[in-house]
Structure 1
Amino acid sequence: MATYVLIFINIGQKMITNKLDTEFWVITDTHLIANQLHDNGPAFKQIQSTSQGKDLVYQEIALRAFCKFANEKKPAAIIVTGDVTFNGELLSAQRFQKIFSSLTDTKLFLLPGNHDIFDGWARSFSNDQQLYTKQISPTDWRNIFHESYDHAWATDSSSLAYSIQLNPQYLLLMLDTNIYGQKEALRSPVTAGFIGEMQLAWLEKQLKFAQKHNLYPLLFMHHNLYVHNPAVNHGFVIDNASSLSQLCQKYDVKLAFSGHIHAQNIVKPQPNIPTTEIVTSSFCSFDQAYGLVKVKKNQIRYQRQTFNMRPYLSAEEQKSYILTHFHNYLKDIQLKNLTHNMTQKDKNSGQKINKFFIEANYNYFTGHNHINEKKLIQLYNSEQYRLLTKYQPKLGRYLQTLFDTTDHSNLNIQINFKEKQNE
């Protein structure tokens, strides 16, 4: 009992804010590659063209602008749910920390994604060559982002997990769901996620503590607790999600935030699991989304927002058409990504169906994919859909997974917590 009292005093001293009404922001999958790691030459341009719609060229500018925006709005914290770097380059992590060191009234908390720690794909790019660059070790991660861990009241010795007390009501549990080795890797990063037994035991201790001291636990992780797309989920849902679900059920965990899939999606509580899971779409793609999380006594409201960086660009940056029309540029990257593997015959014969598919795909990834059953039937009976399934059957089957007929939004949600009585 004395130990718990001591810890409780410690976390009280380390609270991010003592305000019951506050807010924090969530971003994910920033995939920053430091500018010093490339010359924008042929090798780098080839990587950009095959990056699955991620912007790799302007993220330093975008993140600097985002920090200026945060300094104006002053959220209590910005939380990044993994894939901070493009492919685990040490210099990219150091650059990310340097950019966010400009925050004045906002704390930065990060957790790693599957591309961050000992990623064998870490490269620099010079002319037409890809060159080895130093990877991020777990020790590097803790050292670079030490301020996140300095604010922790508990850390897990078996992983990079840690916990933060946001305010008098909420405990933030930052999990490490990634699979990596003990030394630099030679192979591609592991897409799948897993929470080891020691980290699960550590997590349960934090949940017990939260329960004992009337704190609401919020989970943050890179991989997903739930299936967010019936066709594309292998490697995205944590391999031992059932173990995490049991803890969520046992300790009544109401809310989890994750990333990894790059798509905006909300899954409400499942049978015997009280947890709502929110995934915010990738910050380096689509329309620069971030999650605005407003915290009140016994209530949390999440709202997807898009960042307009134009007002926060320097005078020199304002001269760039791409930077002042950045969302158009990001959408164009998506278009090029989706048409990259199509033959010229496909492109010529299927302009209508390609536009149809591209719009549906974009709406899915930005969370604007709700449709009622009547309109869905009309869509399946349309000429565009018939042509798509005829000429590109794989895309036709994938398209069926992009529409959401649930009764809730993927853009916003309110979570209410039961009033807890002080002991």
Structure 2
Amino acid sequence: MLIFITLVTIIVVAFFVLSRSKKSPNKSNNKLNTSLIDDNNIKIVHVTDIHYLAPSLSDYGRSFVDTIEKSDGKMMRYIDQIMDAFILEMVRTKPDLVIVSGDMTYNGEKESHIGLANKFKLLKDKGIKVLVLPGNHDLENERALAFEADTTRPVDTVSLQEFEEIYSDYGYGKDDPNVVSRDKKSLNYVYQLGNKCHLLMVETSTKGNDQTISKSSYRWIERCLKNAKDMNMRVIGVSHQNILAHNKLFIAGYKITNSSRLVDLYNKYNVRINLSGHMHIQHMAEHKRVHDIALACLGLYPNLYGVLDMDLRNNMTYHTESLDVAYWMKKYKHQDQALLDFENTCREYFVRCTRLQTKKQLDKLDLSKEDKEMMMDFMVDTNIHYFSGSLDKRPDLCLDNPAYKLWMDHCERTFTGSYLNSIYTDTIGDHNMLEIFQ
């Protein structure tokens, strides 16, 4: 009997030792790195929708101009310089973490992904952590192209596995000790920042999670939220697509289709902030005490990134900053005048793109030159302030504006009329600042 008990004891101990040494598929065995984080003064920078295109993929000729520069106002010609300026600004301001929430590349070009990861390495080497999440442009994209003269040619895109390899130092490394959980069925993961904060990175751009969250991912999400609650952890949500509606015209294709359940879970587990992008518009929405902060596109005037500050009492403040490209130019003594006066260059380009699109609508109308100019100016001012989240700074841009009434009288049933109506029938507020005190 004694021999039997001894054998059983040996087997149990051996099983326990082996099971502890066997690596979990969802969690690294390495020790968490929390020593460099001041939990009472955490600063997170959020950037999104970079749409980086490697310089080697374009000669900036006719094809580039017609396909890219005549589109939505992103400063794609200078996106490499914009990213260099952003990296310098992060080195200068030293946040604890930089979050990149999707659409990192123009259309998922492998060369663009590699180039962007190389830029992030400059931050890694300075001790600044970067976390990434794919967007709808970033993976297995058949529109990955190079732009040469007046033609385009297909280039390599990336698979899910290649994406994980390229960004192995930025959230997707299998041995990152601070990645405390991974969803086996998607590219979702949880990253622990310091001793009191979890970043819940939720992607909706892979098979099974395309613009939606699968049942298995929801089960994983709730386990992560329950675990965080048990550990007394604050949780910040991150997604590419929005989890709340920000504009009644931009719901399908913009908001995660079944995000209402995520909002309910966030409300249940006291997740107050979700950082998103995708719309290219700076806008905040709130429902059930959950704030979805949709950040504007970095390459679009006024080149915003978000800053989230947190303390040990779970107080949080969020604000946006405009990227100072001119500082980077002057520091490295570049002579390109367009970049030295980048704020005006970017603004004028955005205005030009808005005018180009609006003129197509105005040309169809039988109105006086003065009325058309009034309508054009109203559209330009609206776009500048709506995309930058600053309509509250222009009380004259409102339903009572004579130019708005002209648009409604003559274009109410067009997309342009519906777009303006969706903006001015919404509540106008400050979309660049948020404070949450617990």
**The one of 337, 354, 374 aligned to 1:338:** 354
Matched, 1:44 2:59: no
Distance 2:381 2:130 in 1: 34
Matched, 1:199 2:221: no
Q: 1:334 to 1:346 in 2, by over 3 A?
A: farther
Aligned residue in 1 for 2:422:
401
What letter corresponds to residue 356 of structure 1 in structure 2? F
Matched, 1:211 2:238: no
Deviation of the 1:346 alpha carbon: 5.8
Matched, 1:14 2:39: no
What is the aligned-residue RMSD (CA, Å)? 2.7
Matched, 1:285 2:300: yes
Q: Counterpart of 2:280 in 1: which secondary structure?
A: coil
Matched, 1:167 2:194: yes
Q: Counterpart of 2:224 in 1: which secondary structure?
A: helix
Matched, 1:248 2:266: yes
Maintained 8 Å contact 2:305/2:323: yes
Q: Which moved more, 1:397-406 or 1:125-134?
A: 397-406
Aligned residue in 1 for 2:131:
109
**The one of 43, 51, 72 aligned to 1:23:** 43
Q: 1:407 to 1:415 in 2, by over 3 A?
A: farther
Aligned residue in 2 for 1:420:
none
Maintained 8 Å contact 2:27/2:181: no
Maintained 8 Å contact 2:330/2:340: no
Deviation of the 1:132 alpha carbon: 0.5
The TM-score with structure 1 as length reference comes to 0.87
Deviations 1:216-275 (A, max 9, x none): 11100001110001122211110111221232233222111100001111112x2xx331
Aligned residue in 1 for 2:407:
388
Identity over aligned pairs, percent: 25
Q: Counterpart of 1:398 in 2: which secondary structure?
A: helix
Distance 2:84 2:355 in 1: 31
Matched, 1:58 2:74: no
Q: 1:253 to 1:10 in 2, by over 3 A?
A: farther
Q: Which moved more, 1:259-268 or 1:14-23?
A: 14-23
Q: 1:254 to 1:156 in 2, by over 3 A?
A: same
Q: Which moved more, 1:329-338 or 1:291-300?
A: 329-338
Aligned residue in 2 for 1:84:
104
Q: 1:59 to 1:171 in 2, by over 3 A?
A: same
What letter corresponds to residue 228 of structure 1 in structure 2? H
Distance 2:64 2:242 in 1: 30
Q: Counterpart of 1:32 in 2: which secondary structure?
A: coil
Deviation of the 1:363 alpha carbon: 0.5
Aligned residue in 1 for 2:437:
416
Maintained 8 Å contact 2:51/2:105: yes
Distance 1:413 1:259 in 2: 16
Maintained 8 Å contact 2:236/2:273: yes
Maintained 8 Å contact 1:124/1:132: yes
Distance 2:112 2:62 in 1: 20
Identify unmatched segments of 5+ residues in structure 1: 182-189, 418-423
Q: Which has the larger radius of gyration?
A: 2
Maintained 8 Å contact 1:364/1:403: no
Distance 2:426 2:419 in 1: 16
Q: 1:301 to 1:379 in 2, by over 3 A?
A: closer
**The one of 162, 165, 184 aligned to 1:140:** 162
Distance 1:211 1:320 in 2: 52
Aligned residue in 2 for 1:319:
335
Matched, 1:96 2:112: no
Distance 1:243 1:65 in 2: 38
Maintained 8 Å contact 2:85/2:324: no
What is the total number of aligned residue pairs between the two structures?
Answer: 399
Distance 1:345 1:265 in 2: 31
Distance 2:398 2:271 in 1: 38
Deviation of the 1:408 alpha carbon: 5.3
Deviation of the 1:14 alpha carbon: 3.3
Q: Counterpart of 1:400 in 2: which secondary structure?
A: helix
**The one of 236, 240, 249 aligned to 2:254:** 236
Q: Which moved more, 1:58-67 or 1:318-327?
A: 318-327
Deviation of the 1:339 alpha carbon: 2.9
Identify unmatched segments of 5+ residues in structure 2: 1-18
Deviation of the 1:405 alpha carbon: 6.2
Deviation of the 1:215 alpha carbon: 0.2
Maintained 8 Å contact 2:69/2:76: no
Deviation of the 1:99 alpha carbon: 1.4
Maintained 8 Å contact 2:308/2:317: yes
Deviation of the 1:8 alpha carbon: 9.9
Distance 2:311 2:76 in 1: 37
Deviation of the 1:69 alpha carbon: 1.5
Deviations 1:31-65 (A, max 9, x none): 00100111111111112233311121111111111
Maintained 8 Å contact 2:85/2:323: no
Distance 2:435 2:234 in 1: 15
Maintained 8 Å contact 1:16/1:165: no
What letter corresponds to residue 62 of structure 2 in structure 1? P
The TM-score with structure 2 as length reference comes to 0.84
Distance 1:250 1:141 in 2: 33
